[in-house]
Structure 1
Amino acid sequence: MMDVRRMQVLRAVVSAGSVTAAAADLGYTPSAVSQQIAALEKQTGTALLERIGRGVRPTPAGLLVAGYADAIGRQVAEAETALADLLAGRTGRLAVRYFATAGAALVAPAIARLRAGHPGIAVELRLSGPEDPLPDVREGRADLALVVRPHGTAPEGVRLVHLVDDPYRVVLPEGHRLAERRTLELAELAQEPWVGSERPGPCLDVQLDACAAAGFRPRFVVDSEDYVTAQGFVAAGLGVALVPRLGLGEPRPGVVTREVRGPEPVRAIHAAVRETAPAQPALRALLDALRDTARAG
């Protein structure tokens, strides 16, 4: 295998036309240059230079090797430039997992902000779906995931960066006996039929834990696992529902939304990143954009 450094020495000799001139360009002694060429000729098993008067010229083999050395030199320079851009955060690629309501309220504005300040960063966005995205983060298949987790409950290998607390609102049918109130006690909903708005997981746990703290377990008569659908069932008079503020959107006709307390159910939204991930300016820029978006909201 040819030594790349010796190939670059050969290229310098071919460009300069003599060993002495190449040595001056490289900051070597002529003897050191000659030794490098001799070692390269031993590696290749053929002569690479021939003497012409006081100078040298490449043999066909020398011309071939010098050409490849020139190409390698350009590739090394390109690699150095690309690496500098990556380390400075001018380029990079990020894989992001998110859930629907966080996508609309947090991820979309944050990506727009990121692209405005860092147009060279490419982002792959993928909806998490029902599966837990944390294994993808922990095992390096995703750089960042938006998740709902209680404060201080980061699983092993994952760091949680808190973004925002998203309180739940109670959705009531228009004309409901409690609709005239601005704020309701959660216990006042204990005897109501409930419309489920969450699939099993951390968000549903937030609702159930709050109801347990208020002294009851909700009686679900409909499971929808979707905020818009849940509001449709509420509008039809089938029950009441809890929907997080970020998931309300524009409340549909036939329903009203009210604050709830005693306690107020709140889901904590975090950005999850791998604990041992190497420092990435692109990832840091995205986290900053998510924090700024969360604060602005």
Structure 2
Amino acid sequence: MFLRVYVHNHCMIDLRRVQVLRAVHQHGTVTAAAAALHLTPSAVSHHLRELSRELKVRLIEPQGRRIRLTGAAHVVIEHGDAMVARWERAEAALESYRSGTSGLLRMCGFPSAVAALIAPAAALLRASNPELTIEVSECETPTGFDLLLATDADIAVLAPSEDFPHPGDARFDQRTLLDEPLDLLVPAGHPLVRRTRGGIQGVRLEDTAREEWILAAPGSCDHHQRVVVFCAVAGFTPKVAHYVRDWMAISAMVGAGLGVSLVPRMAPTPPEHAVVRLPLTGEPALTRRILTCVREGSRDHPLIQHGLKALAEAAAAVPERVGITPPG
């Protein structure tokens, strides 16, 4: 972003430096901000000094071996968010004069979203716009937002977590793509499988209260907390016998008869694992929400619109593959 703006009389600032200040605020240290922005710590410090000189205010001050932002810095960040968003909208308006059918579109997301949503969307885009270059990156949620802020990604497909920015965060535009059901994963010979095949309709989460569970370790991912909350609503605390995070590994463990688990509908379960997915009945519906996230002000960019449309088409086609109903 090579834009300079006049803010007062002869005061001129570079929005790149505002981006650097925002990154320091987000990540807490110059070193972490430099890593997220692909800069050196000295370059980050230089941008902060120049921005402070341009604005004639002190932006950082020492706090032990670390630094902290001054009150003036927080004012700059608050108004800088609006300035950057306005420039993103200006770029989108300028780009709207072009065709939007060529160029580079970068999308990122967590593994099962890449497999079930981003890959089909990329195929649709390549078929409809042969001159469009698609770049896909697999990432976890915090990295996805770093990629957006560093302009290393244009669209992120993510599931909300404790690391997610607030919906009102001025830096991002977050919207629901679909609500993905969670299935109960049990061994092929489990009594609940025999019960459903015997004509009894529906399995409820409370039917698993006496089961041993296979879950990710607490704090390793948000799925653990999600399952614990759902089980608490159903009236029990899951007895976790094994701590495994990878979906393929969980599937193998369940197939070996070592416990049960809740898995997202899009997570892979190979047929050789001898497991059965049982849809759950009852309220509330057990789902995880999948969102599209872009930088605030960029959603109307033609390339991003093409990408979001393709993702919506891929999400709408998911019911044919794995039985998910998109919201609305």
Q: Tell me the TM-score normalized by structure 2.
A: 0.59
Which of 109, 118, 131 is the matching residue for 1:107? Answer: 118
State the alpha-carbon separation in 2 of the partners of residues 135 and 167 from structure 1: 27
- Residues of 2 paired with 1:224 and 1:84: CA distance? 46
Aligned to 2:252: 232
Contact 2:269–2:275 (Cα < 8 Å) also in 1: no
CA separation of 1:138 and 1:202: change in aligned 2, threshold 3 A: farther
Give, in whole Å, the separation in 1 of the partners of 2:113 and 2:272: 20
Instruction: Work out whether 1:176 is the aligned partner of 2:187.
Output: no
Tell me if 1:281 matches 2:295: no
Structure 1 CA distance, aligned partners of 2:96 and 2:132?
Answer: 10
Residue number among 187, 199, 205 corresponding to 1:186 in the alignment? 205
Cα distance change of structure 1 residues 152 and 265 upon mapping to structure 2, 3 Å threshold: farther
For residues 182-226 of structure 1, the C-alpha deviation after alignment (integer angstroms, 9 at most, x for no partner) is 331111212211011587334333322211211222222112211
For the 8 Å contact 1:166–1:268, the answer to whether it is kept is yes
Report if aligned partners of 2:213, 2:261 keep a CA contact under 8 Å in 1.
Answer: yes
Q: Which amino acid aligns with 1:162?
A: T
Secondary structure at 2:210's aligned position in 1?
A: coil
Distance 2:271 2:97 in 1: 44
Say which is worse superposed, 93-102 or 197-206, in terms of deviation. 197-206
Give, as a single letter, the amino acid of the residue that structure 1 aligns with 2:145.
L
* Displacement of 1:276: 2.8
Residue 158 of structure 2 is aligned to residue 144 of structure 1:
no
In 2, the alpha carbon distance for the partners of 1:146 and 1:158 equals 13
Report the AA paired with residue 90 of structure 1: T
Question: Is 2:234 aligned against 1:220?
Answer: no
- Structural mapping, 1:50-65, within 5 Å: none
Residue in 1 aligned with 2:53?
none
Residues 52-131 of structure 1 mapped to structure 2, 5 A cutoff: 87-129=98-140, 131=142
Corresponding residue SS for 1:125: strand
Shift of 1:109: 0.8
Structure 1 residues 257, 197: CA separation in 2 closer, same or farther (over 3 Å shift)? farther
Q: Which amino acid aligns with 1:140?
A: T
Are residue 296 (structure 1) and residue 317 (structure 2) matched?
A: yes
- When the two structures are superposed, what TM-score results if normalisation uses the length of structure 1? 0.65
SS at match of 1:184: coil
Change (3 A) 1:97 1:219: same
Q: Percent identity?
A: 31
Deviations 1:64-122 (A, max 9, x none): xxxxxxxxxxxxxxxxxxx9898211222122211111111111110010111112222
- Letter of the structure 2 residue corresponding to residue 163 of structure 1: L
CA distance in 2, matches of 1:132, 1:244: 21
Alignment gaps of 5+ in structure 1: 1-82
Q: Which runs of 5+ in 2 are unaligned?
A: 1-93, 197-201, 319-328
Rg larger in 1 or in 2? 1
Query: Contact 2:181/2:286 (CA < 8 Å) preserved in 1?
Result: yes
Residue 261 in structure 1 maps to residue 274 in structure 2 = no
Report how far residue 253 of structure 1 moved.
3.8
Partner of 1:27: none
Aligned partner of 2:214: which letter? V
